A and B are shown apart, each in its own frame.
Chain A
Amino acid sequence: MTGSETGVDRPARILIVEDEDNIALALSHVLGREGWAVKRVVDGEAGLDAVRTERPDLLLLDVMLPGMSGYEVCQAVRLEPELAEVKILMMTARGNAMERRKGLALGADGFIAKPFDLSDLLDQARALLAGPAEASNA
């Protein structure tokens, strides 16, 4: 299904939910350079609204957000069946195994610990955007 979306000639749309400006700036720059359409919001509430209205292909979600946490956003997205096609990649500065488990249990598709190499992030993002094809091969 997602394959048909990426299949058509329109850039994949990525929503970044990140309260730190510096990293958001860098991420927007790098992801934009890949040819993807990038939008950034600064907190969880705005993020959830944006997911509902824009239906991005990939949600790049920070865990530590002012107000609503990344986990809450992730759970809320996963509770709405019409948002099922949105891929979620969570980012956290405290990436221990338990948090990874929690994130994945709440419905995230990927989990990446800060600090990370940008190439790692790009690899994961590409894999998620091309996901269903790989999953069906597996």
Chain B
Amino acid sequence: MHEWMARKLSLRLRVFLFFAFVAFGGLAAVLLGLWLGYRRVAEAGVESGFVFAGLVACCGILGLVVWVWFLFDENVAKAIQKLAGGMRARAHADIAEELDHAPARYLGDLAPAAQAITGSLTETKNALAEAVERETTRLAIDNARLQALLGDVPAGVLLCTSDHQIVFYNGQAQEVLSGEVDAGLDRSLLDYLRAGPLQNAYARLVASEDSDAAGDILCAGMVSGEVLAGRMRLVHLPQRSADDPGYVLTLRDVTTDLELHAGREELLEEVFERVRRPAANLQTVLDSGAAEDGNGRAALLGEVGVLTHAITDLGARYDAARGGWWPMEEIRASELVDSVVALTAREGIILTAEAEKLMLRCDAFQIVALLTHLCERLSNVIRATALSLRISAEEDGGALVTIGWFGDVLQVGLLDGWMDVQLEVGLSNVTGRTVLASHATEVWPESGAIGRALLRLPLRQAIPTDRAPAVARRSAIYDFDLMDREPTGALAETPLRELTCVVFDTETTGLLPSSGDEIVQIAALRLLGGKRIPGEEFETLVNPERPIPASATEVHHVTNEMVAGAPTIAVIGRQFHKFAHDAVLVAHNAPFDLEFLRRHEGDIGKRFDHPVLDTVLLSAVVFGQSETHTLDALTERLGIVIPPEARHTAMGDTIATAAALEMMIPMLEGQGYRTFGEVIGAVRKHSRLLKDANSPDKVPG
């Protein structure tokens, strides 16, 4: 009947008919009442007749109005709200699906019209998106280049705001800065470095007349106390006021350098200290002429003994530290050997080479130049044939480089002469001898087996490749928008786009923390203004210290065996608390997840008193309370696809929640909620739906 009317009649006519229906229905109720009342007059009197007529008329009118109201609410008011929600979602986020117009089927042309406008909006958006995409791709390529360059700079490079928040860092910077957590975007540099030198240098530069001035600083790490040498330069960007410019800081760990220098200084001082006194004493004894008698002789011998001992001891210490100052790098023995083969091949020398799996610590460029030089001389001067090169491990932890050939043993005198020739390494005054000296080593000839002659050159430090240290992460992470951000003020005034959020999700043994259910897995992501920060993720299993029911394992696939070796919530909770430091916690149904954590605040030793956003409540603000707000429904509405295998894994749900948050931020802004405070205000209106986790006192313990 409805369907037929909706199809055949126009919306205006239908609304007119409804009102006509109400009018005639009302009249009919009154007439019916009057007729029934008139019939009662004969039996029960005039008074009762009137009352009865009134009652029947009132009930009839009331029933009619309620029925019509119900139809209007169901098919007009609710439908308009749904349609408006859908349109708003499409206005502020990219949703590819067509507007669902089933609920608004009785609203005439409204639904098709809305569909048309959202459709054309989508088209416009797509065209715009394509243009933006092209431009973005170009920028992304530029950025990738910049990132690759800065990621490979051997110094740590950081860009910070005036209040020392990190906006950019490269992998080296993360290596150099050690703290409770790895350095990351929007963390304060003062958590990693002592504040004094940084603030002094910054103040000096700000006060300086020269806007391009750079200041050198020496600062110490907060945790391990390593010494870092740095250079700070202010960055004057056009969009920032000149009063509080950000700065670029390049950092280098000079702890080792300083220790080396200090060690040398100390050794030198000790040399003078320990040689001066016996030398002076010797002179005095000799001058006095007392040396002739027995006592004087004993005195002389005593002083000489002291001197001898001092020199032997100091010499040994000097030798141990020799070569330490020269910049050395780690290189695979095989690469070094390959370079020599390639270089000698250019001279027409055929060299067979092999190397054991070793990392050598040396100035590879110099060593390669020296070995090439030696091969070339051997071939051209003494007509050596069948040249071979081999690098092998030595028992003392060093490596031995051996050049072999068929021919005469090399004369040491000839070798010494070769060692005085300048090598082509791009530095002046580099000879074989200086290369040997900076590596604290020697080279010598030996005779080998089966008519072969050898040259030996030991290198002091070598590491088997399977124990080689990990290469520093080559990356650069940044969010330059942070530069434009006003210095952090009260959280309530912080725009949504500038919030640092940690989105998280937990998997548990069950739904009732109060009955002893516990967390088995936590995953979290850090977001800045809704955008994920690369590399800033947290995912770990937790030992719940109780069996996981099979029904729970069926949902999240975390088994008892998987968590057996995992740390407990006391440990993980502390790590998670550090990860979420200074951020707004975001979860889908946050009070549920938070209650599992808050129950263990005692063991963890930290309070989870972070500000909280709940995507259930945000969904209610954006889409209206009458919608369903499960994570599946929300992500479906927003066109976010969770792969089925990721659903109900902590990280899968966290990624989905983060994506939903990212899409809802512009929608909230579209509704006029721009700051955290405004959003929390809007959320409170929906707190009937759920507890607001920002009032932890109300959470039952």
Contact = CB atoms under 8 A, between A and B. Distances in A.
B315 A98 contact: no
B440 interface: yes
B312 A102 contact: no
Contacts of A127: none
Contacts of A95: 315
Nearest to A44: B413
A69 B412 contact: yes
B312 A101 contact: no
A79 B409 CA distance: 9
A8 interface: no
Contact of B411 (A72, A96, A102, A115): A72
B657 to A, nearest CB: 63
Contact of A97 (B307, B312, B319, B413): B319
Nearest to B460: A98
A102 B635 CA distance: 75
Interface string B376-418: 0000000000000000000000000000000001011100100
Contacts of B315: 94-96, 113
Interface string A75-111: 1100100000000000000111111011001100000
Contacts of B322: 96
A79 B312 CA distance: 32
Contacts, number: 51
Contact of B312 (A71, A98, A99, A115): A115
Interface residues of A, number: 22
Interface centre among B307, B413, B416 (most CB of A within 10 A): B413
B445 interface: yes
Contacts of A96: 315-316, 319, 322, 440
Interface centre among A94, A95, A97 (most CB of B within 10 A): A97
A74 B312 CA distance: 24
A121 interface: no
A68 interface: yes
A117 interface: yes
A99 B312 CA distance: 15
Interface centre among A68, A96, A101, A117 (most CB of B within 10 A): A96
Contact of B456 (A74, A76, A105, A115): A105
A116 B645 CA distance: 78
Given A97-B319, A115-B312, A75 B411 contact: yes
Contacts of A72: 411-413, 416
Contacts of A75: 409, 411-412, 445
- B contact residues, range: 20 to 34
Given A79-B409, A101-B458, A113 B444 contact: no
Contacts of A113: 312, 315
Contact of B444 (A71, A79, A117): A71
A99 B456 CA distance: 12
Nearest to A68: B413
A115 B442 contact: no
Given A98-B442, A101-B442, A115-B312, A71 B458 contact: no
DSSP majority for the B interface?
A: mixed
Contacts of B409: 75, 79
Contacts of A76: 411
Contacts of A69: 412-413, 416
B429 interface: no
Interface in B281-336: 307-308, 311-312, 315-316, 319, 322
Given A115-B311, A117-B308, A98 B413 contact: no
Contacts of B311: 115
Contacts of A97: 319
Contact of A98 (B316, B446, B458): B458
Interface in A46-78: 68-69, 71-72, 74-76
Nearest to B307: A115
B441 interface: yes
B660 to A, nearest CB: 67
B147 to A, nearest CB: 44
A106 B454 CA distance: 11
A71 to B, nearest CB: 5
Nearest to A100: B442
B444 A102 contact: yes
Nearest to B413: A72
Contacts of B316: 96
Nearest to A106: B444
A81 to B, nearest CB: 12
Given A75-B445, A113-B312, A115-B311, A98 B411 contact: no
Nearest to A115: B308
A99 B442 contact: yes
Nearest to A98: B442
A68 B412 CA distance: 9
Given A71-B444, A98-B440, A98-B441, A106 B312 contact: no
Nearest to A74: B412
A101 B395 CA distance: 14
Contacts of A99: 442
A68 B415 CA distance: 12
B374 to A, nearest CB: 15
A96 B416 CA distance: 18
Interface string B430-464: 00000000001111111000000000101000000
Nearest to A117: B308
Contacts of A116: 308
B409 to A, nearest CB: 7
A110 to B, nearest CB: 17
Interface string B127-141: 000000000000000
A82 B30 CA distance: 147
A106 B412 contact: yes
Contacts of B444: 71, 102, 105-106
Nearest to B316: A96
29 contacts: A68-B413, A69-B412, A69-B416, A71-B412, A71-B444, A72-B411, A72-B412, A74-B412, A75-B409, A75-B412, A76-B411, A79-B409, A96-B315, A96-B316, A96-B322, A98-B442, A99-B442, A102-B442, A102-B443, A105-B444, A105-B446, A106-B444, A106-B446, A113-B312, A113-B315, A115-B308, A115-B311, A115-B312, A117-B308
4 A-B pairs closest in CB distance: A96-B319, A115-B308, A102-B444, A98-B442
Given A96-B315, A98-B440, A113-B312, 12 more contacts: A69-B416, A75-B412, A76-B411, A96-B440, A98-B442, A102-B442, A105-B456, A106-B444, A113-B315, A115-B311, A116-B308, A117-B308
Interface of A: 68-69, 71-72, 74-76, 79, 94-99, 101-102, 105-106, 113, 115-117
Interface of B: 307-308, 311-312, 315-316, 319, 322, 409, 411-413, 416, 440-446, 456, 458
